[in-house]
Amino acid sequence: YSDWFLPSKDELNQMYLNKAVIGGFTNNSYWSSTEYSNDTAWMQDFSNGNQHIPTKGAANSVRAVRAF
């Protein structure tokens, strides 16, 4: 399939709010596709729901999604 993408920070937050229904998440931080600057992007922490802005070099999880 060619329609996979990283969710935006708002889409990722909706996934966090519905993580029990969606399933398969760990208590890690997940990258979003929403950039904050050239060197940073938004992340969603799935252990507590916080969103934060680390540098893009930080190693964290991703959860690709498909449009439906």
Question: Tens digit of pLDDT for each residue in 6-55?
Answer: 999 999 999 999 999 999 999 999 999 999 999 999 999 999 999 999 99
Please say whether the beta carbons of 6 and 37 come within 8 A. no
Closest C-alpha to 7, from 33, 45, 46: 33
pLDDT recorded at residue 2: 85
Q: Tell me, rounded to whole angstroms, the distance of Cα 56 from its chain centroid.
A: 13
Residue carrying structure tokens 């991703």: 62
Which residues does residue 61 pair with via DSSP β-bridges, in sequence order? 30
